[in-house]
């Protein structure tokens, strides 16, 4: 029987631990403030922003938000971020992505002070991760590491295959697994014979954005499967990049969708907010 990795429980544990840390900081008169900026009113983004603010409330982090109109210029956004970079009362700055097309995301990410970059997307933080130095780490891959560790799943020396090479999931994930001494292979849309590669994995991490793509034929018997994908189908049901029902009998452990990696992302965002106050 496969272990079903409960991301909801682990994220709850992490949030409780952070709540204690925040209370201790508060006793020393240190408060933590996250500033969330949303440009436009994309409905998915609004839900994410709401959930982030709710998580802040749960653990005692103050959140302030800027809901800017769609037509906000790049310059206006840059000016706001620069002002927030200077404010000592603000620890973390998060610009909800995607941004409207007339705003260049890379430019905006670079504008956020690396010390306040709670998403871990700033090139300096990405570089630090590649060099094995301490910095703020992208939340979703950091959450995957927490799931593996808190379920006592050994990583060192294991064959880890990651499907997806995005800047926010696949690439930082590979660096984190390397840091944990896994032997890492990264696959992408140009990878030949994908199933042959994924079948080598002791730990298979899938972040490809293709609903239920990974079926049993892609998975080795006894592997650990981590599904980062999130998709909502026409019946409003949520699924991942992995065909859970087809894979579950073959694996030793697997994350469900929903309730696997998803809840970890916000927990690790809260972790990063607390980190900014510890420096």
Name the segment binding ligand NDP (CB under 6 A); options: 32-40, 86-94, 152-160, 190-198.
190-198
| # chain residues binding ligand NDP, by CB under 6 A | 26
What is the distance in angstroms between the CA of the first residue and the CA of the last residue of the chain? Answer: 43
The residue among 169 and 251 lying less far from ligand NDP, judged by its C-beta, is 169
At its nearest, how many Å lie between ligand NDP and the CB of residue 20?
Answer: 24
Question: CA 141, 120, 182: angle at the middle one, nearest 5?
Answer: 35
Kindly state whether residue 215 participates in binding ligand NDP, applying the rule CB under 6 A.
Answer: no
Of 154, 137, 141, 98, the residue nearest 228 (C-alpha)? 141
Residues designated as active site: 52, 96, 119
Q: Is 87 annotated as a binding residue?
A: no
Q: Give the distance from CA 48 to its chain's centroid.
A: 12
Sheet holding 183-187, edge to edge: 3-4, 253-254, 224-227, 203-206, 159-163, 183-187
> What's the CA gap between 143 and 265, in Å, rounded?
6
Q: Which of 144, 187, 267, 268 contacts ligand NDP by CB under 6 A?
A: 187
**120: contact with ligand NDP by CB under 6 A:** no
Q: Decide: residue 238, CB within 10 A, 0-12 exposed, 13-18 middle, 19+ buried.
A: middle
Annotated binding-site residue? 132: no
Give the nearest residue (CB) to ligand NDP.
166
Q: Which of 12, 40, 100, 209 binds ligand NDP (CB under 6 A)?
A: 209
Site for ligand NDP in 13-72 (CB under 6 A): none
Residue 254 marked in a binding site: no
DSSP string, 64-86: EEEEE-TT--HHHHHHHHHHHHH
Please tell me whether 166 is known to bind a ligand: yes
168 makes contact with ligand NDP (CB under 6 A): yes
Residue indicated by tokens 């859970």: 244
Dist. CA 25–CA 28, nearest whole Å: 5
Shortest Cβ 168–ligand NDP spacing (Å): 5
Question: In this complex, which beta carbon is closest to ligand NDP, that of residue 135 or of residue 229?
Answer: 229
Structure tokens at 154: 């050994």
- Residue of 60, 114, 141, 229 interacting with ligand NDP (CB under 6 A): 229
CB-side exposure of 111: number of CA atoms within 13 Å? 20
Residue 191 is a binding residue for ligand NDP (CB under 6 A): yes
Closer residue to ligand NDP (CB): 103 or 230: 230
**Distance of alpha carbon 220 from alpha carbon 230, whole angstroms:** 23
Q: Does the protein bind ligand NDP through residue 7 (CB under 6 A)?
A: no
Which residues sit in the known binding site for NADP(+)?
Answer: 164-166, 230
Binding site for ligand NDP (CB under 6 A): 140, 163-166, 168-170, 187-191, 194, 207-210, 228-231, 241, 261-262, 265
| Numbered residues of the known binding site | 164-166, 230
């Amino acid at each position: 029987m496969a272990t079903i990795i409960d991301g909801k429980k682990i994220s709850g544990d992490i949030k409780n631990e952070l709540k204690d840390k925040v209370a201790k900081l508060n006793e020393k008169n240190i408060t933590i403030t996250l500033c969330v900026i949303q440009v436009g009113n994309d409905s998915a983004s609004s839900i994410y922003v709401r959930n982030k603010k709710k998580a802040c409330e749960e653990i005692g982090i103050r959140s302030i938000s800027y809901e800017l109109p769609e037509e906000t210029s790049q310059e206006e956004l840059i000016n706001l971020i620069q002002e927030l970079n200077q404010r000592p009362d603000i620890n973390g700055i998060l610009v909800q992505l995607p941004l409207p097309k007339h705003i260049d995301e890379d430019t905006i990410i670079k504008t956020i002070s690396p010390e306040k970059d709670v998403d871990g997307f700033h090139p300096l933080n990405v570089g630090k991760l590649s060099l094995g130095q301490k910095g703020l780490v992208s939340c979703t891959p950091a959450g995957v590491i927490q799931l593996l560790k808190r379920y006592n799943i050994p990583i060192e020396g294991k064959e880890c295959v990651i499907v997806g090479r995005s800047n926010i999931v696949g690439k930082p994930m590979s660096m984190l697994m390397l840091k944990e001494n896994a032997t890492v292979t990264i696959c992408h849309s140009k990878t030949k014979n994908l199933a042959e590669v994924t079948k080598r994995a002791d730990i298979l991490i899938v972040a490809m954005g293709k609903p239920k793509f990974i079926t049993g034929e892609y998975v080795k018997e006894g592997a650990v499967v981590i599904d980062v994908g999130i998709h909502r189908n026409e019946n409003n049901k949520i699924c991942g990049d992995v065909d859970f029902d087809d894979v579950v009998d073959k694996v030793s452990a697997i994350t469900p969708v929903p309730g696997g990696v998803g809840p970890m992302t916000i927990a690790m965002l809260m972790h990063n907010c607390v980190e900014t106050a510890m420096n």
